[in-house]
Chain A
Amino acid sequence: MNENARDKAVIWVHDEMLSLSWLGYVRRAAERTEIVGAVFVFDDTWVADERLSLKRLVFMAECLEQMPGVEVRRGDVVQEVSAFAEAHGTTRIVSLASTSPRLRRQGEQLGVDWVCEPPFVELPARIDLKRFSRYWGKAKSRVFRTTEEIMEQA
């Protein structure tokens, strides 16, 4: 891979980041990288597997309508995002981190550089998640702060 290819990247817009503000956020996080395009792919396998109804696709399409500059495709996500990156002269793909196993698998196949969203709450690693009450016992003293305050204390 040549240096030019590393200096450029495309943003993979997935179904958990359907706001223009994430594009600016990912762009700022991927500093020293020129963002040369952004693409969203309606995942044919997901639509079929979860038997998504028309209203969900319309809702997502309306979100994308308010995200000018994002190319909208359908098909196989890995194939389409790779082809989009290649057409833009890069192999580097950046996106917003997700806990969805489907998105994580696709991101892994694409070699995505994930950008984490601002923390809702900062918690110790490996907290007990067996019940919400255990999570809340740790979270409640830390979550009633603004993101700015949380970031200042991080």
Chain B
Amino acid sequence: MPTLRRDFESRDDLIAHYREQFPEAAAVSDWVSDTRGGRDAAEALLDNVDPVEYGRTRNHLSGAVTRLSPYLRHGVLGLAETRDAALAKVDDPSRAYKLVNELAWRDYYRRVLAEIGDAVWDDREPYKTGLDAEDYADDMPDDVTNAETGNDFVDGSVRELYETGYLHNQQRMKLAAYVVHWRRVRWQAGAAWFLSHLLDGDVASNNLSWQWVASTFSHQPYIFNQENLRQWMGGRFTGDSVGGGSPFRGEYDEIKARIFPRA
């Protein structure tokens, strides 16, 4: 019977119905996010958006991020509508600059997707890492997907992805960089893994952001070091691994020499 119920007595009732209908999705990951779907939740978040604080603090894990992305992805909120709401909160449009700029990234990625279609899964350009696409593994390493690398940032972020379906942008970029550059895995494997778990997963923003990190859609690879990681993580993650070492320790030149030996 292809028609699904829509008369749920409670959230638990709804979850149980979908768990029963889609056992394969529950097998991928059985977690359910605290983030609620629906227009009411989206409007409540939109009411709380502070464009000025967003511009000032958004890179910090504890910053005034909007968490609107699942709602924008699924059209619960429109891009233009969200921009209008942001502009209405400031006396001068320039005070909403960063928020509108970030919404523009989403518009940009959608426009690129309209041009390239399914080629969003292909490298837009060669890697600028001194390595060829063939040098990268096709599959995600088990220790990463099982959150068993022993690194507090990597494992903590992976668990958060599974449990909430959301990661702060700094975590996304750094986790993607770890997968592609430190573990030398093709960005496509990482992008597909994110799509499984992110509430806001879509091939436009997700794949093209992975390509940006990988350097197949940018002039250079995105990397970071432990100092940079600690700057934005607000004490939640140190970047240390069990035993006290860290793959992210060192100056940028030292890290580049380690992970891009042929560059």
Contact = CB atoms under 8 A, between A and B. Distances in A.
B31 interface: yes
Contacts of A139: 104, 107-108
B103 A120 contact: yes
B83 A16 contact: no
Interface in A8-40: 15-22
B75 interface: yes
Interface string B103-128: 11101101111110110100000000
Nearest to A146: B84
A119 B107 CA distance: 10
A96 B87 contact: no
Interface string B23-41: 0111011111101111111
A117 B78 CA distance: 8
Contact of A53 (B14, B25, B107): B25
A7 to B, nearest CB: 26
Interface stretch (B2-10, B236-244, B249-257): B2-10
A101 B118 contact: yes
Contact of A99 (B8, B19, B97, B111): B111
Interface residues of B, number: 78
B21 to A, nearest CB: 7
A59 B108 contact: no
B199 interface: yes
B31 A54 contact: yes
A48 to B, nearest CB: 7
Contacts of A140: 101, 104
Contact of B25 (A54, A64, A129, A146): A54
Contacts of B199: 55-56, 59
B25 A47 contact: yes
B104 A54 contact: no
Given A59-B165, A144-B93, A73 B2 contact: yes
B192 A50 contact: yes
Interface in A138-154: 139-140, 143-148, 150
B114 A99 contact: yes
B144 interface: no
A41 B114 CA distance: 23
Contacts of B18: 54, 57-58, 61
B75 A53 contact: no
Contacts of A147: 80-81, 83-84
A21 B81 CA distance: 11
A51 B25 CA distance: 7
Contact of B196 (A52, A73, A101): A52
Contacts of B5: 72
Interface stretch (B146-154, B174-182, B201-209, B224-232): B201-209
Interface string B43-61: 0000000000000000000
A31 to B, nearest CB: 20
Given A120-B79, A139-B104, A74 B29 contact: no
5 contacts: A56-B199, A58-B18, A62-B37, A65-B6, A101-B203
List 6 tightest A-B contacts by C-beta distance, closest first.
A62-B37, A53-B29, A99-B114, A144-B93, A59-B37, A63-B37
Interface of B: 2-6, 8, 11, 14-15, 17-19, 21-22, 24-26, 28-33, 35-42, 70, 73-81, 83-84, 87-88, 93-94, 96-97, 100-101, 103-105, 107-108, 110-115, 117-118, 120, 162, 165, 192, 195-199, 201-204, 218
Given A22-B75, A55-B199, A101-B113, 5 more contacts: A15-B74, A59-B36, A118-B80, A121-B107, A136-B101
